[in-house]
Amino acid sequence: MSKKEYKRVTTHSLKEMKARNEKISMLTGYDYSMAKIIDNSGIDIILVGDSASNVMAGHETTLPITLDQIIYHASSVVRGVKRALVVVDLPFGSYQSNSGEALRSAIRIMKESGAHAVKMEGGSEIKESIVRILNAGIPVMGHLGLTPQSIYKFGTYSVRAKEEEEAKRLVEDAKLLDELGCFGIVLEKIPAKISKIVTSSISSPVIGIGAGSDVDGQVLVTHDLVGLTTEFNPRFLRRYVDLNEIMTKAIKNYIKDVKNIDFPNQDEQY
């Protein structure tokens, strides 16, 4: 992409996309090289997700990733991106204590990584933090439904908001986040009929993951979409390529060539 070929995605253009019914595409990114490929492919939003804790660091949950680590990932992504909006997860433990800590963490992300927005898990319980971050001029994306930072409270990664009371609370939380000024909301692993209600009730774009098709856009973890992860197989995941298989084949061929002294050949040396 040359400089003139692209127009940067902004929080405002996302709202316009919702208004004209144009679906929004979002994927995770954690490093420079992948972010460059994803951005050049034309994605609208790149999320530097705390799922880096799982797919990049091999942890079982998203809880261990630190603020310093997410800033490292985010600054690598920002260097590879020309067009997409870069959103960064506030990691577990960097915003839950109080709104002052939340604001300081969000400011560090924006200042040290050059990203464009932050994402936070939760509804009314983090209202004060959201307001303070927004008042500092930092765009905030909400995240409701299955919120992996609370996995030990939920006990399982199963579908959320199946019961009426939880669904009602989720819709109320989504309306609150919209009223506060969040530029978008991620809905994770909830019944499609609840996502549809949320999407039609608020003006901010709703991005779903395992939340059906009646939303304003979709997000997946890139490593899942390209088949770099193999053990994570939820119903909502569509694998577009099996990079695990392709890479394994390539690496096995390289090993074979090294062992057989087929690599490097005459043209591959000085």
C-beta separation of 11 from 85 below 8 A:
yes
Coil, strand or helix: which one is 46? strand
**CA neighbor of 171 nearest in space, from 185, 157, 183, 181:** 185
* Interaction of residue 89 with ligand KIV, rule CB under 6 A: yes
Minimum Å gap between C-beta 47 and ligand KIV is 6
C-beta separation of 38 from 84 below 8 A:
yes
Give residues 15-74 in contact with ligand KIV (rule: CB under 6 A): 28, 47, 49-51
C-beta separation of 62 from 51 below 8 A:
yes
Q: Is 125 labeled as catalytic in the residue annotation? A: no
The partner residues of 151 in beta bridges, in order of sequence, read none
Integer Cα distance of 133 and 99 in angstroms = 8
C-beta separation of 39 from 81 below 8 A:
yes
Site string for ligand KIV, 180-219 (x = CB under 6 A): ------x-x--------------------x---------x
**∠ CA(53), CA(58), CA(59), 5° rounding?**
60
* Interaction of residue 144 with ligand KIV, rule CB under 6 A: no
Q: Which of 60, 166, 172, 188 is catalytic?
A: 188
Number of residues that bind ligand KIV (CB under 6 A): 11
Nearer to ligand KIV, 45 or 138 (CB): 45
Give residues 217-236 in contact with ligand KIV (rule: CB under 6 A): 219, 221
Nearer to ligand KIV, 92 or 102 (CB): 92
CA 228 to chain centre: 17
Nearer to ligand KIV, 28 or 75 (CB): 28
Residue nearest to ligand KIV (CB): 49
Minimum Å gap between C-beta 54 and ligand KIV is 8
Integer Cα distance of 59 and 53 in angstroms = 6
* Residues taking part in catalysis: 188
The footprint of ligand KIV (CB under 6 A) covers 28, 47, 49-51, 89, 186, 188, 209, 219, 221
